[in-house]
């Protein structure tokens, strides 16, 4: 899903957006996953107080970087890393640590008029002791939303501006959250990704609902979808499978179009539809994985977090079906007008929204 979705038009294409960082502190190291636009940092633009990158003397170089392929942009990042890393402060016990790049994910070139999101993963080994860790973000890098991973309800969240430092983050804090707490927290994260944040997944599940109100077809479809997205969610989260969001997101939108059209035209049988939904579920699992990666997983809790997130997603999907049944199916499902005046128009609307998203995610 797009990060920090905004309505961007005209001159707003060059507006500055805050970076978002998830920081995990253990007794041995600190790991930071930052979602940001890399181009301003590489270009050396001072974002402090800047509203629009077009106002910077480095604007032309910045726009040139937006058109660079991911591999070329990563090369530029690494060439300038010594300079850039000086603005990312990791301090413990009065000692400054130098963060190392352990992972870079850069989206393919899209609309060069719009900011391109990247994910930069950094790590620094901590010296012996239990001194807390503070994170700092240079004022010239703009604003940073800093979130502590694994601290439960007491986890630190801060908004760093003007070169501010975070509050001290205890090394042992992450150890106080047991497996049960992690499991429950990720259930909530998975549920929220469906309701209210996952409109595309909600529409796909509604497409399954409007195919048939009979329990067997619905059960087959939901089961196939669950198994499929569980597989790719696990594989993508483990880094075994990696497909760019620029490919996955339009295909997810296309899957919404297909189920809507198939419902409206009355195509398909239970067996064929179930197999098709399984294939679409593989795509949706990749979409879930990108969100799970953005949320962050504490080391040593991967399996529990992954299971909890998946349970949350399933509860969200079942809630969508239950709500649809209570609003529509229970009252009108057995009426003669249900299919021509409810199921078909709803499916056409679902397909139309999916078609718009296909265009938006590929051309706009």
Phi and psi based region of residue 181 (left: phi greater than 0; alpha: psi -120 to 50; beta: remaining): alpha
Q: Beta strand pairing status for 19-25 and 144-148?
A: parallel
Mean per-residue pLDDT for 136-164? 82
**How far apart are the C-alpha atoms of 174 and 165, rounded to whole Å?**
20
Bridge partners, 146 (sequence order): 21, 158
Bridge partners, 133 (sequence order): 92, 169
When pLDDT is cut at 50, 70 and 90, the band that residue 80 belongs to is very high
Cis peptide upstream of residue 177 (ω within 30 degrees of 0): no
Both tokens of 26, joined, read 């253990």
- Helix, strand or coil, per DSSP, at residue 52: strand
- Helix, strand or coil, per DSSP, at residue 157: strand
Mean per-residue pLDDT for 236-264? 85
Q: Judge contact between 33 and 119, C-beta under 8 A.
A: yes
b/e map 248-261, b = 16+ CB within 10 Å: bbbbbbbbbbbbbb
pLDDT tens, position by position, 170-203? 875 444 556 787 788 889 888 988 888 789 889 9
- Find all residues with CB under 8 Å of 34, minimum gap 6, and list them: 19, 20, 21, 119, 120, 121, 122, 144
Mean per-residue pLDDT for 117-125? 91
pLDDT tens, position by position, 283-326? 888 887 766 665 555 555 778 888 888 888 889 989 999 999 99
Both tokens of 76, joined, read 């530029």
Both tokens of 66, joined, read 């937006």
pLDDT at 10 over 60: no
pLDDT at 70 over 70: yes
Mean pLDDT score across all residues of the chain: 83
C-alpha separations of 291 from 51, 232, 281 in Å: 28, 13, 16
Both tokens of 15, joined, read 């507006």
pLDDT confidence of residue 172: 58
More confident residue, 286 or 244: 286
DSSP 237-273: HTTS----HHHHHHHHHHHHHHHHHHHHHT---HHHH
Check the CA dihedral 10-12-14-20 and report its sign.
negative
Closest CA to 252 of 222, 284, 226: 284
Give percent of the chain above pLDDT 90.
35
Both tokens of 104, joined, read 């870079």
pLDDT tens, position by position, 213-234? 888 888 888 889 889 988 988 8
Closest CA to 135 of 103, 102, 168: 168
* Burial bucket for residue 47 (CB in 10 Å: 0-12, 13-18, 19+): buried
């Amino acid at each position: 899903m797009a990060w920090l979705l905004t309505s961007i038009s005209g001159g707003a294409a060059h507006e500055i957006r805050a970076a978002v960082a998830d920081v995990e502190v253990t007794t041995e190291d600190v790991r930071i996953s930052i979602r940001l636009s890399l181009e301003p940092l590489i270009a050396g633009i001072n974002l402090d107080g800047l509203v629009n990158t077009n106002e910077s003397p480095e604007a032309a170089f910045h726009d040139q970087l937006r058109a660079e392929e991911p591999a070329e942009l990563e090369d530029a990042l690494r060439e300038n890393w010594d300079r850039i890393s000086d603005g990312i402060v990791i301090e413990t016990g009065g000692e400054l640590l130098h963060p190392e790049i352990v992972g870079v994910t850069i989206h393919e070139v899209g609309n060069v008029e719009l900011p391109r999101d990247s994910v930069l993963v950094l790590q620094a080994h901590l010296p012996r002791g239990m001194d807390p860790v503070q994170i700092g973000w240079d004022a010239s890098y703009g604003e940073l939303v800093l979130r502590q991973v694994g601290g439960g309800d007491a986890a630190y969240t801060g908004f760093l501006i003007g070169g501010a430092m975070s509050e001290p983050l205890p090394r042992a804090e992450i150890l106080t959250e047991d497996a049960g707490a992690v499991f429950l927290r990720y259930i909530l994260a998975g549920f929220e990704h469906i309701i209210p944040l996952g409109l595309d997944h909600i529409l796909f599940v509604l497409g399954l609902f409007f195919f048939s109100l009979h329990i067997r077809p619905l059960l087959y479809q939901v089961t196939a979808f669950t198994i499929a997205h569980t597989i790719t969610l696990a594989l993508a989260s483990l880094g075994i499978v990696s497909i760019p969001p620029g490919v996955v997101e339009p295909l997810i939108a296309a899957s919404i179009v297909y189920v809507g059209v198939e419902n409206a035209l009355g195509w398909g049988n239970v067996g064929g539809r179930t197999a098709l939904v399984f294939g679409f579920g593989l795509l949706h699992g990749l979409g879930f994985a990108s969100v799970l990666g953005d949320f962050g997983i504490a080391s040593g809790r991967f399996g529990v977090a992954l299971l909890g997130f998946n349970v949350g997603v399933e509860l969200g999907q079942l809630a969508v079906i239950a709500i649809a049944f209570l609003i529509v199916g229970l009252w009108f499902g057995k009426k003669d007008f249900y299919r021509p005046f409810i199921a078909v128009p709803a499916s056409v609307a679902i397909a139309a929204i999916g078609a718009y998203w296909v265009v938006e995610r590929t051309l706009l």
